[in-house]
Structure 1
Amino acid sequence: MGADYYNILKVNRNATEDSLRKAYHRLAMVWHPDKNPNNLIESEAKFKQISEAYDVLMDPKKRKIYDQHGEEAVKSGHIPPSTAHGSSSRNRYPEGGSFPFAERSAEHIFEEFFRENQGEFSGLLKKGPPMERSLPCSLENLYKGAKKKMKISKTITDSFGKVETIEEILTIEIKVGWRKGTKITFPEKGNKGPGIIPSDLTFIVDEKPHPVFKRDGNDLLIDQEITLLESLTGKKLELKTLDGKILIIPVTDIVVPGFEMVVPDQGMPISKQPHKKGNLRINFIVKYPTKLTEEQKADLQRVLGGVS
């Protein structure tokens, strides 16, 4: 004789969906294997029975077949010919007909139940610890914005210890002006353990070193070497920006060691005000000659002798 699903859930045969839901919630929380680490064999069997009963009785088609033909008809998907002929025309099933009722795991039914009832039962399931991954970005990415595709690998472990590794491609839209340490979270995209909500997956922006520029908040810093002559007489600098444009910057002041020129609005975009930018700060390094001829020294004395 097959299992009595109503008896398993401890409800009567006229039980409503709400009664079934409450009964399943009460029993599943008692017999879930995670709640019975010292009695796994019995709890796994009970939990499977409870989930199977709930799955059948909550599905109107499965419940109807179960009520009329029993557990075997539901599980096999076949209606016995003798009972099929005995059905009324309204409820008649094809003789020997099959029904697409695939068995589902108890853990799957349990997780589906809590997803559907998260508002009522959200406090009953714990969430897995967050997962963090580095998101390397070039200064160009953070200056212009970009889209990155990140391949992730996560593990799904059910209550019976079965582990499945899943790979997924996530697309991350990098916003202009983001800084190192910016976090981008994908809710419930991380690992999942038995009986818990999947963990969140968080990517943390990391800036790759740049060969020319350094970043200081919203400002960009660059070291620029000039000759002693240029430091005294001036120069036009040509600098290539992070978006490929060429800046022509005239240097007209006398440049002394440690001199810094500030070029407004040529730094990094400001993330909350992307149409505004920080400053470009140019640190000049004066390159002195390693030696001078006597003639050159005389010329310098003549030109600079009276300059204070």
Structure 2
Amino acid sequence: METKPRPEGSTTSGFCDAERAVSMVTECTERRPWGRIIIRCWRSAAVLGIQTSKRLKKKATYDKFGEEGLKGGIPREFGGEKAWTAGYVFHGDAEKTFKEFFGGDNPFADFFSPDGTEVNTGFGGLRGRGVKKQDPPVERDLYLSLEDLYFGCTKKIKISRRVMNEDGHTSCIRDKILSIDVHPGWSQGTRITFPSEGDQGPNIIPADIIFIVKEKPHPRFKRQGNDLIYTASIELGKALIGCTVEIETLDERILNIPINDIVHPKYSKVVPGEGMKLSQDYNQRGDLLVQFDIQFPEHLAPQKKQLLRKALLP
């Protein structure tokens, strides 16, 4: 096969321009947010390449047919009324040349939103790296006794989580101890957050671990906000004539509360300052509310009925 020599000067001007355009693309990528700017730079480089190709054809036409062939077109093989093909005149519009060559406006349009920002396609994006997203928070219940919430305490909780190895690609399961300082006065629903202590991964931000306080049932008290509720069981006679109720507190003190009123089913006795400590001020406390469960006798002797009749009925 015969190898034709390349026309002199055909490889200097056009391709040097293209090389300069490629350098311009690199400079834009390194120094500025690249969005649409790099697309315009890349587009300009592509247009230069197209014009370079056409410039070579233009020189070949001039060498063979002279200036008339360049401006008027190449003569057709069989002549006729239109013996010359249409001449080439550059319109000066790089955008138009780009569309004619590529059949569209932007080959990267699918990778960008209308405002020019990069769309996360799930394949790492045009930047070569994925957009990291944080996993949803992991919530766990933390069960505490009323004593824990009254005095405060420290809880040590062991968690097992996936941790990335030093190579950045493999992982393993490791245990970690989380320490929670429980403050006096915390209530049910209090949330304690450990940021980014969840499973690690190459393309994720570890989830937050959130512990939510739950109160364990207590044998003597129920909690209502900062107040404590105690239910005393008393006999009907004591409910009518009065009594003294003995209560052991959370800090193991004994309260002797006199009841001088007639106790009815909706009656309650308020003991100020014997409730839960306030989380805002440990020296302040809620109240103790004493409610009553009145025990009625299952049987009553006739003599006692007669006495009650005289005492209670007119």
Q: Which residue of 2 aligns with 1:136?
A: 143
Q: 2: distance between equivalents of 1:214 and 1:284?
A: 14
Q: Which residue of 2 aligns with 1:194?
A: 202
Secondary structure of 1:268's match?
coil
Match status 1:175 vs 2:180 = no
Instruction: Show the 5 A alignment for 1:78-97.
Output: none
Over alpha carbons, which structure has the higher Rg?
2
8 A contact 1:128–1:193 mirrored in 2: no
1:135 Cα deviation from its structure 2 partner:
0.7
Q: Which residue of 2 aligns with 1:244?
A: 252
The Cα offsets for residues 100-138 of structure 1, whole Å up to 9 and x where unpaired, read as: xxxxxxxxxxxxxxxxxxxxxxx9643332222111111
What is the aligned counterpart of 2:159 among 128, 152, 157?
152
What is the aligned counterpart of 1:164 among 164, 169, 172?
172
Residue type of the partner of 2:255? L
Q: 2: distance between equivalents of 1:215 and 1:266?
A: 12
Q: 1: distance between equivalents of 2:122 and 2:308?
A: 89
Secondary structure of 2:140's match?
strand
8 A contact 1:226–1:284 mirrored in 2: yes
What is the aligned counterpart of 1:278 among 268, 271, 286?
286
Secondary structure of 1:301's match?
helix
Q: 1: distance between equivalents of 2:266 and 2:230?
A: 13
Q: Which residue of 2 aligns with 1:263?
A: 271
The Cα offsets for residues 251-280 of structure 1, whole Å up to 9 and x where unpaired, read as: 111111221111111111121222211111
Residue type of the partner of 2:180? I
Q: 1: distance between equivalents of 2:241 and 2:136?
A: 62
Residue type of the partner of 1:200? D
Q: 2: distance between equivalents of 1:294 and 1:199?
A: 73
8 A contact 1:128–1:192 mirrored in 2: no
Q: 2: distance between equivalents of 1:202 and 1:241?
A: 31
State the percentage of identical aligned residues: 42
1:175 Cα deviation from its structure 2 partner:
0.6
Residue type of the partner of 1:148? K
8 A contact 1:149–1:170 mirrored in 2: yes
Instruction: Show the 5 A alignment for 1:1-308.
Output: 36=123, 125-157=132-164, 162-306=170-314
8 A contact 2:124–2:131 mirrored in 1: no
8 A contact 1:140–1:242 mirrored in 2: yes
CA RMSD of superposed structures (Å): 2.9
Q: 1: distance between equivalents of 2:164 and 2:153?
A: 34
Secondary structure of 1:270's match?
coil
Structure 1 gaps, min length 5 = 1-21, 27-33, 48-122
Q: 2: distance between equivalents of 1:206 and 1:161?
A: 38
Q: 2: distance between equivalents of 1:124 and 1:35?
A: 8
Secondary structure of 1:190's match?
coil
Q: 1: distance between equivalents of 2:302 and 2:135?
A: 77
8 A contact 1:156–1:163 mirrored in 2: yes
1:238 Cα deviation from its structure 2 partner:
1.0
Q: 1: distance between equivalents of 2:213 and 2:282?
A: 18
The Cα offsets for residues 134-186 of structure 1, whole Å up to 9 and x where unpaired, read as: 11111111111111110111113579763311101111111111111101111
1:196 Cα deviation from its structure 2 partner:
2.9
TM-score (structure 2 length as normaliser) = 0.56
Q: How many residues align?
A: 194
Q: 2: distance between equivalents of 1:151 and 1:245?
A: 35
TM-score (structure 1 length as normaliser) = 0.57
Q: 2: distance between equivalents of 1:248 and 1:149?
A: 37
